Structure 1
Amino acid sequence: MSESTSTPYRPLSADEAAAQKPLTGGSWADWVLLVLALISVALLAWESWGSVTPMQREAIILADYSICALFFLNFLWRWRAEQWTLGFVGRNWYDVLGMIPVSDPALRSFRLIRVVILLARMGVAADRVLGEEFTYRLVNRFKQGIVRAISGSVTVAVLDQVADVLVKGTYTRNIARALEENQSELRDMIREKLREDPQTGRFKRLPYYNEIIEGTTETALRVIEQVLHDPRTDELVADLLRENIDQIRLAVAAKEAKKHA
């Protein structure tokens, strides 16, 4: 399975992955690593969701660091056999995750990371007995089918949640508040643009030019703020968002129906 160091990493297709080697195997050393992986998973699950004393937690942390060190040495040994190719790391990314000492107090509050690392160690355990890179090939074999099967449903569900949030937003009022907070900057910017405009700049010699500009600017800003504060403007924006999201949802649903027809 070795590959040239000059060959860039490319995920294998399902047929290529299945043809590489059988999905069974394992020496006595692999069985030892399997037992260590299962022990680490059990200890971390107990420490995460069970009731442990401070002394037991310290013992779990020490055991976890020791097991991670053994995983690291085993990973280096296998990587050396693959001539230090980056493709090996890409195919065994879950091994890298499994070597993170997740029992460390610094990671204790990151529950999602702990779950991901526990799953990665389960993948490491499967590789030890079921064959080198079994988890990678198993995921590679089924991932496209899984993605195709759930992508449309996930998209529609996400759109439903997004639509419920977006149509309840008060975006125009948020814009109005931003305008109120930056009125002085807006006035300065409008005056500057009017002076630079070739059409309106011709009238600057007229009497009361500055007063007219000031009055027009004040009136425009006031009317814009009133329009933005009007609930009907919020309804208009909500309707626009709803129509666009419904259109996207119908397009995704039609694509899903065509795919399963």
Structure 2
Amino acid sequence: MFAINRENLKKSHQTIWFVIDFLMLGLLIFNLALIIFDSAYGFAGVQDFFQQSVPAFYNFYQPIHRNFIFYDLIFVSIFLTEFFVRWAEAVWHKTYQRWYFYPFIHWYDLLGCIPTSGMRFLRVLRVISIVYRLHRYGIIDFTRTRLYRFIAFYYDAFMEELSDRIVLKVLSGIQEEVRRGSPLLESVHKNIIYPRKDILVGWISDRVADLASQGYAPNRDALRRYLERCVAEAVHQNPELARLKLLPIFGKQVRGTMEEAVGDITSHVINQVMEDLSSSRNHDFIDDLVDVFLPDHQKKLVYKGTDDTELAQRQDNEVLINLTLEIIDAIKEQVHKKRWREQL
């Protein structure tokens, strides 16, 4: 059931109206329950059941059923009184721009007062409006009720199933278009990726710089020792350099000096490359590298005459198509997962 927030009720300074809301809510629920029961009581089988099983209740309710319109008019008179009081209050406080706007905005309150079977159930909308108003002002919290959680859960489940089927249908259509050689990939490259090449180059440049500085700097000494061992093994296995040991007097020294020099040069070159990659100077290198993978559309037309270029381009397109299809398959697999089942 609803838990009434007394603090918000005091802060609202509309206690009297909220009390009326609660009274009207109780009357509406009772009236709707009575309407539903009387509708069911109208069947001859139901009347026979009460006549045989509960004759006292049958004798009590039979006059009410025959004159139900009269008893319903009692509720209607109360509802109309409350309606006109609220209309007067809205005119007094100028809630709406025109005094006659209130009955049009609250049409369901007015039509629900018509005592016919088709209009009576519009009173359900009045129940919903009262509950919403109380919830909006924080007097009650409808989201904590079991009914709300039950409806919200199955509504979310229904919407997830519906949206998943739509998304899967769309993704399958995209895959079919890609397999048929749709110009989608060329359009993505030409109109989306290439115009943003500078942004892509800047992002890759920053990532490479971060990886080079964070990955190389802490392991510089270990990498140098590793290179020195590799160079020493290569020198020992090289037959031409092994003959230096045959030189009289300085053979071993020359070989050792050369081994150290090669190791220093190799370490220096690698160190310089990693420092360049970890600095802003790597931007031009990354730019050239991106140009290889994302050539300009106009530049690709220049080389279109060579067979090797056309073959390489077709192979690149096949790789890109397969990659796109695999990405869409991964998305479809993720869409297939039902979150509402996990919650259940």
TM over 0.5: no
Q: Report the TM range for the smaller structure's normalisation.
A: 0.3 to 0.5
Provide the TM-score with structure 1 as the length reference: 0.35
Q: TM-score, normalised by structure 2?
A: 0.29
Greater RCO structure (CA 8 Å; 6+ sep): 1
More helix by share: 2
